[in-house]
Amino acid sequence: MPADHSARRAALRRLLADRDLDALLVTDLLNIRYLTGFTGSNAALLVTTDDVDESRTVVCTDGRYLTQVAAQVPDLRAQIARASADHLVRSAATPARWGFESHVVTVDTHVRWAGLDSPLTLTPAPGLVEQLRMVKDEHEVGLLTAACAVADRALADLVAAGGLRPGRTERQVGRDLEARMLDHGADGISFETIVATGANSAVPHHRPTDAVLAAGDFVKLDFGAQVGGYHSDMTRTYVLGRAADWQRDVYDLVARAQAAGRAALVPGIDLAAVDAASRDVIAAAGHGELFLHGLGHGVGLEIHEAPGIGQAATGTLACGAAVTVEPGVYFSGRGGVRIEDTLVVREQGPELLTLTDKTLTVV
């Protein structure tokens, strides 16, 4: 199913009309990609509100992308200018109220636009495209599914090949896993792979070092693949050699908390209530203070995007949102467990995209 960029722009126009804006000047490159399919490194997009035939909606880029913009955005008028956003502002011929992405535009850029010879009123309009991006269409779900499948296959290969064994370093394991994701068709990795062994597994976002995997260690892997611009995110925690009783206990606790968080993913629920569903399981076991971060986040064109799922989160969970559920318990100096999946919120229950088994695995 191809992406329907025109439908996305139509949805944006409805948001603009609700805010009494004549247009939105889009300068965030990921938002431009979402709305048009254009993947160049320099662009601006003007989406005009009252423009059913899109004759006044314009994408602007520089001469390096003349051929690319024609191929990727055949349904919009293109203009060529190096300073793309400045060009669109300067080209405005009649008074109008344009929104701009104030959450990404620098103060200096806004000052420069205000100094151009333009009849516009520029109004902050942050987060409008991101609001649309929270709910994934089926094209996006397809890319997320593909990215998750690549990560699943790469991890299965790593384990089957004995890649998690005493004597290897965290860096070696991380590079091995990343190479396997690329071999399975990833366009890139979602972020620097986290490999954390032994006491390092108690550091939520540990960066791989030359620490050596040893028998009896927890080994935590947090990683993802990127396909078609969309990211996957998954964490699995293993034990090397033989699991001690305390490791089985903490793993079972996190697994139960993660299951509770997944089950809470119903459309319309308060985001903070999703976090609480998982966090309460850990707190009831007396380890609430060892769950050091929020339960999850949105995932899509960015590895971390709206909505955030945490204790202080506001708002509700939308049907079609793609989110992670990733509780963890971390015993400083000893070891920790995190289990994470990527899921899509559906009316009939969450759709699990990361399919690697979550049963405690001793390798």
Instruction: Tell me which residue of 54, 19, 60 sits closest to 38, measured CA to CA.
Output: 60
End-to-end Cα distance, the chain: 40
Mind listing the pLDDT tens digit of every residue in the chain (363 residues)? 789 999 999 999 999 999 999 999 999 999 999 999 999 999 999 999 999 999 999 999 999 999 999 999 999 999 999 999 999 999 998 999 999 999 999 999 999 999 998 999 999 999 999 999 999 999 999 999 999 999 999 999 999 999 999 999 999 999 999 999 999 999 999 999 999 999 999 999 999 999 999 999 999 999 999 999 999 999 999 999 999 999 999 999 999 999 999 999 999 999 999 999 999 999 999 999 999 999 999 999 999 999 999 999 999 999 999 999 999 999 999 999 999 999 999 999 999 999 999 999 999
If one counts every other C-beta atom within 10 angstroms of the C-beta of residue 314, the result is 10
The pLDDT score that the predictor gives to residue 63 is 97
Query: DSSP letter at 169?
Result: B
List all residues 6 or more positions away from 250 whose beta carbon is below 8 Å from its beta carbon: 287, 329, 331, 336, 337
Query: DSSP letter at 163?
Result: -
The pLDDT score that the predictor gives to residue 2 is 87
DSSP-based helix, strand, coil % in the chain, nearest 5? 35, 25, 40
Q: How many residues does the chain have?
A: 363
List all residues 6 or more positions away from 286 whose beta carbon is below 8 Å from its beta carbon: none
Kindly report the pTM of this predicted structure. 0.96
CB distance 354 to 268 below 8 Å:
no
Taking the C-alpha atoms of residue 327 and residue 339, their distance in angstroms, rounded to an integer, is 6
Q: What's the pLDDT tens digit per position in 260-270?
A: 999 999 999 99
If one counts every other C-beta atom within 10 angstroms of the C-beta of residue 236, the result is 22
For 27, the 3-state DSSP assignment is: coil
Instruction: Tell me which residue of 129, 141, 139, 103 sits closest to 323, measured CA to CA.
Output: 141
The values of phi and psi at residue 362, to 5°, are: -105, 125
The pLDDT score that the predictor gives to residue 43 is 98
Amino acid at 26: V
